[in-house]
Structure 1
């Protein structure tokens, strides 16, 4: 499902991670897959991340969920917003929205946050550290776009929010259903609902910091090393000052570290696992069926789907699924690619895809589950 009148390669070459861009009527005749009542119901669930932000006289108040449904009757008539994270993990119709943005690598996809706002509702001027496509689901929202921010940009964090102390709009757009606004990392923006029943679907893409990449990779290396292998001195000089660390020692330590960085196979496996990792993956692991009973279920007509919120990627050696690397033989690469082309929550035909062992392993990992057509 391509965006209307959209050149993906031009976008990637000239816009992506550079500047904001409005895509007017990018999804024609768009019908929002949920309404305010649906979102409020999700916000009352214990395992769903939700927030309410209320603006009053230029100040913002943050309330964290889960909420009791009675709270919604106590909210003011205007200037409040309900935000619910990872709604695509619970609604197949919303997960389908990712299909419009598959020109961005699948392993970069994060989740879809949904915000519902009444007239004047907003979360204040801010910037994000990730790429986001803001899809207007219903109602109208005025977006003001500012300049690029850095870590030195002054912020107001008094309300538990990271709001800009100063905001100067350089562009303004009013979005209606089906319009899409792309905002790259670091670009200031401020969206204000114009009228009630304003729903915005934020399609976010993960961008780990360099600090987290280095930390995660070093942890991965350390987990594989033998503790009995210890630091050994290079050649020492008997007449050297006892407290001095010679440059030769630093060079020796550098060589020890670099030898663990010069392993492209290891880096590829680690990166694939890290970029497909999901929070609380242990909640999805399923060993309830033996391999034999699992194959019986399939033989009797059971159909599989990719779990809502699952993350997939592949390279020449591994299929990466929800933080694990599954090796596969070269002759199965086309089947691996085919599996990764399915969207989450869609019934998939497994008769000619991968080996039974691979399919069962993905089922146990929670990446695949039995298809429930009552959710579609």
Structure 2
């Protein structure tokens, strides 16, 4: 992708301009981002997805639509009869990670790869009956809201008071103060940076596609990195046990010996002596498939080109390639070709032939694992 070229998707802005002017800075309304856009899944297909065990879905019924006058939240899977009637106003079903289950939606996500894959999370589809929504709220991540069917009225604002209505099953801002209002038609799109308050209400039956991005909290990232590093620590630190032949008798037995503190420090330093340990752990974390994702065993490559499965996450840094939570050292021509596979999500037969024998063996194993498939 040439990041200097203007895109209809961004209202005529180039990706370079969009990222400098709007990304994590201010909202952008884009009329006809995808002219003539129609839902990639119809209502029946979306409902079928919401019924699957390996698909994350939620049902939100607004207070005015509930007989008891309360907001209701229920987690799927949902059989069709467990959803309210389509003629009933004020309810929404949200289906997460649709890009993992439908190739058409996965291809739509590829249009947003001017943002690093390490940040790209998933595409959620929300179906709402007239008046349906999830209430005024804010997200901790960037989001593109693409209207796919019907119309939705959005009210947005820079919210200073982030307090929530107490004792609610959904997170609703207690004192929402909108500053702007838009009605989106099919193909229109609204970009919102993190913590920008918004409230979307369906005007008639509607579908909205939400393209969301990962924004890990620093504490969460630290915990995951430490867990990953800990798994490598035993191999790096070795099996030497603590010994203290020079230990003298003590009268203050509860005090931790200085030698033991030193031993602990040396053990930690040994575990982290590999200067690439942190990079390796980060790449493995960022490519780890979500808990509900699994792959079906495939056929080994027959020597042709290959493409990544839509559920496969593949990244790289200056020393490694990472795929689905695993890391591999790469250098030279192999590294260049593996990076090409990660960026283009496919590799031609000619390029596969240029790989070393060990790298070709890796591709064959990934095909057998269902991470790659032969190019049609």
Query: What is the TM-score of this pair, normalised by structure 2?
Result: 0.82
Aligned: 1:12 with 2:19: yes
Q: Secondary structure of the residue that 2:122 maps to in structure 1? A: strand
- Displacement, 1:208? 1.4
Q: Gapped runs of 5+ residues in structure 1? A: none
1:245-284 matches, within 5 Å, as 264-280=275-291, 283-284=294-295
Distance 1:74 1:29, change over 3 A: closer
CA distance in 1, matches of 2:212, 2:20: 19
- Displacement, 1:270? 1.1
Aligned partner of 2:188 in structure 1 is 179
Aligned: 1:104 with 2:112: no
Contact 2:71–2:169 under 8 Å retained in 1: no
- Displacement, 1:229? 5.6
Q: Secondary structure of the residue that 1:283 maps to in structure 2? A: coil
Contact 1:281–1:322 under 8 Å retained in 2: no
CA distance in 1, matches of 2:243, 2:135: 55
1:167-202 CA-to-partner distances (Å, cap 9, x unmatched) read 110222221122221112222111111122x11111
Distance 1:340 1:359, change over 3 A: same
CA distance in 2, matches of 1:164, 1:98: 30
1:141-156 matches, within 5 Å, as 141-148=152-159, 153-156=162-165
CA distance in 2, matches of 1:76, 1:232: 75
- Displacement, 1:26? 1.9
Aligned: 1:130 with 2:138: no
Aligned: 1:69 with 2:73: no
Distance 1:199 1:330, change over 3 A: same
1:122-172 CA-to-partner distances (Å, cap 9, x unmatched) read 01111112211111112111111122468xx32236342222122110222
**RMSD of equivalent CA atoms:** 3.3
Contact 2:121–2:212 under 8 Å retained in 1: yes
Distance 1:158 1:352, change over 3 A: same
Aligned partner of 2:4 in structure 1 is none
Q: More deviation in 265-274 or 159-168?
A: 159-168
- Displacement, 1:16? 1.4
- Displacement, 1:13? 2.0
CA distance in 1, matches of 2:269, 2:22: 35
- Displacement, 1:77? 2.0
Aligned partner of 1:337 in structure 2 is 339
Aligned partner of 1:206 among 196, 214, 234: 214
Q: Secondary structure of the residue that 1:268 maps to in structure 2? A: helix
- Displacement, 1:348? 5.3
Q: Gapped runs of 5+ residues in structure 2? A: 2-6
Contact 1:316–1:330 under 8 Å retained in 2: no
1:48-63 matches, within 5 Å, as 48-57=55-64, 59-63=70-74
- Displacement, 1:81? 0.9
Distance 1:230 1:110, change over 3 A: farther
Distance 1:172 1:254, change over 3 A: farther
Distance 1:174 1:138, change over 3 A: same
